[in-house]
């Protein structure tokens, strides 16, 4: 198992009456609410937490890209990952990822990811999301029905740029470059790639076709994720591929305390902040017409996976934990539920969301430390037939390879 400590970097100062006063945390929330001088300390605290996660033994630390929102303050995840290359040395830097349809030219992603891989000594996991409709269409103006074609072209350019040893011309529909010449090149070539997906059938095939790991990022927990992941694994079987659990990852909200009761006491207010303020998205921004393919709508995936079960304002701590939106409790409770989650969904990667909403630093570290010390060790060996590792879906740091080489000599 690989555990990545993932930060969303939310704005933690949304007021109590946020839901009543604002229709959306994304796209049209006035940015007067953002206070840059507070932001300074918040960014550094968040980066410290990611570094702490490496210290206590997480395999990876994760960042992602969002725009025009108070849910996640990383319009450029690469800037965050760059700072992390300097004060970490072991953990995978999971950038999940760059919304490649938004970069002009998308070669920029090939270059910046190469920079990160070189800076970190080959520790980059590269994520290529399509991006949410809020980010891609409403905040960054990409035409919804052309988003996926633009994405596919950007992906082709990036992979070709990494693979080439000499300049070449790229004549795409959306990008035309006479000289593609990616300096620097990545140490890992290519780095392992994770694709965040949310139920598009095309994404399953894209991952299988390219040997990318499918990462389902949901906040509704593993019981609701089951149908979607079963669809993915069914596809794996249809394609007659091996069923390595590292072909898939899942994001899970986790809260660990000494006892179940203590977990509720410590974390319920922050969980509530997360579900009721950070996820308060105006439905009109959630899914621009044309953003999803007709095929995806026709499968009925959307009604199954997105609309139902999101009555967050009326959900109590009990509702959220019993339905496993949140895995919370004593180390033993969390261990049991995590094991069930990992086995049910058949995932080798877990993106652990241990910072939530407006959670103060000491609680974040408390929960993180308990998870690392009392939960993670017991979950390490859940896929013994895969030696708990799959080379195709994890990083190959330079140091490790040098050692291997020396050993061989």
163: contact with other proteins by CB under 8 A: no
| Max Cα–Cα distance, the chain, nearest Å | 67
Rank residues 138 and 371 by Cβ distance to other proteins and give the closer one: 138
Rank residues 57 and 290 by Cβ distance to other proteins and give the closer one: 290
CA dist., res. 138 & res. 143, Å (int):
9
In the three-class reduction of DSSP (H, G, I as helix; E, B as strand; rest coil), residue 73 is classed as coil
In this structure, are residues 72 and 10 in contact, taking their beta carbons and an 8 Å threshold?
A: yes
> Which residues, 5 to 44, sit near other proteins by CB under 8 A?
27
284: contact with other proteins by CB under 8 A: yes
Two tokens, residue 296: 């995806």
What value, to the nearest 5°, has the Cα angle with vertex 317 and ends 312 and 323?
A: 75
In this structure, are residues 315 and 275 in contact, taking their beta carbons and an 8 Å threshold?
A: yes
Rank residues 41 and 141 by Cβ distance to other proteins and give the closer one: 141
Rank residues 30 and 289 by Cβ distance to other proteins and give the closer one: 289
Q: How many residues does the chain have?
A: 409
Given 137, 220, 268, 349, the residue binding other proteins (CB under 8 A): 137
403: contact with other proteins by CB under 8 A: no
283: contact with other proteins by CB under 8 A: yes
Q: How far is the CB of 138 from other proteins (least distance, A)?
A: 7
- Choose the stretch contacting other proteins; rule: CB under 8 A; options: 215-223, 240-248, 277-285, 362-370: 277-285
CA dist., res. 318 & res. 41, Å (int):
33
Given 146, 163, 241, 402, the residue binding other proteins (CB under 8 A): 146
Q: Which region, left, alpha or beta, applies to residue 159 given φ > 0 means left and ψ of -120 to 50 means alpha?
A: alpha
404: contact with other proteins by CB under 8 A: no
316: contact with other proteins by CB under 8 A: no
CA dist., res. 24 & res. 70, Å (int):
9
300: contact with other proteins by CB under 8 A: yes
CA dist., res. 297 & res. 328, Å (int):
33
55: contact with other proteins by CB under 8 A: no
Rank residues 299 and 336 by Cβ distance to other proteins and give the closer one: 299
Rank residues 282 and 396 by Cβ distance to other proteins and give the closer one: 282
Residues pairing with 43 in the sheet: none
In this structure, are residues 2 and 60 in contact, taking their beta carbons and an 8 Å threshold?
A: yes
Among 77, 164, 120, 109, smallest CA distance to 396 is for 120
Two tokens, residue 353: 């969301």
Rank residues 304 and 336 by Cβ distance to other proteins and give the closer one: 304
Given 297, 322, 361, 392, the residue binding other proteins (CB under 8 A): 297
285: contact with other proteins by CB under 8 A: yes
The binding site for other proteins (CB under 8 A) comprises: 27, 137-138, 141, 143-146, 173, 282-285, 288-290, 292, 294, 297-298, 300, 302-303
């Amino acid at each position: 198992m690989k555990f990545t400590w993932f930060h969303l970097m939310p704005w933690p100062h949304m007021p109590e009456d946020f839901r009543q006063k604002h229709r959306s945390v994304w796209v049209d929330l006035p940015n007067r609410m953002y206070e840059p001088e507070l932001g300074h300390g918040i960014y550094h605290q968040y980066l410290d937490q990611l570094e702490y996660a490496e210290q206590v033994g997480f395999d990876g630390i994760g960042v992602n890209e969002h725009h025009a929102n108070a849910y996640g303050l990383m319009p450029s995840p690469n800037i965050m990952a760059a700072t992390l290359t300097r004060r970490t040395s072991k953990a995978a830097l999971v950038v999940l990822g760059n919304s490649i349809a938004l970069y002009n030219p998308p070669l920029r992603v090939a270059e910046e990811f190469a920079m990160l891989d070189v800076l970190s000594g080959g520790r980059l996991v590269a994520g290529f999301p399509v991006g949410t409709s809020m980010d891609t269409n409403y905040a960054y103006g990409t035409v919804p029905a052309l988003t996926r074609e633009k994405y596919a072209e950007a992906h082709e350019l990036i992979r070709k740029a990494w693979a080439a040893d000499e300049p070449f011309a790229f004549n795409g529909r959306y990008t035309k470059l006479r000289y593609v010449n990616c300096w620097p090149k990545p140490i890992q070539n290519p780095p392992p790639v994770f694709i965040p997906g949310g139920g598009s059938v095309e994404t399953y095939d894209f991952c299988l076709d390219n040997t990318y790991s499918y990462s389902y990022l949901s906040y509704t927990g593993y019981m609701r994720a089951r149908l979607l992941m079963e669809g993915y694994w069914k596809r794996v079987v249809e394609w007659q591929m091996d069923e390595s659990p590292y072909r898939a990852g899942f994001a899970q909200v986790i809260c660990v305390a000494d006892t179940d009761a203590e977990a509720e006491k410590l974390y319920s207010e922050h969980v509530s902040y997360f579900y009721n303020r950070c996820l308060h998205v105006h439905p009109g921004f959630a899914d621009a017409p044309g953003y999803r393919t007709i095929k995806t709508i026709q499968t009925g995936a959307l009604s199954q996976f997105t609309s139902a079960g999101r009555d967050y304002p009326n959900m109590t701590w009990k509702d959220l934990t019993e339905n496993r939106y949140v895995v919370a409790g004593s180390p033993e409770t969390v261990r049991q539920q995590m094991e069930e989650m990992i086995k049910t969904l058949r995932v080798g990667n877990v993106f652990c969301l241990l910072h939530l909403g407006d959670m103060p630093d000491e609680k974040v570290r408390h929960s993180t430390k308990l998870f690392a010390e009392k939960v993670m060790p017991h979950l390490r060996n859940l896929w013994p037939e895969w030696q708990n590792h799959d080379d195709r879906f994890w990083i190959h740091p330079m140091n490790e390879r040098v050692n291997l080489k020396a050993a061989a000599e």
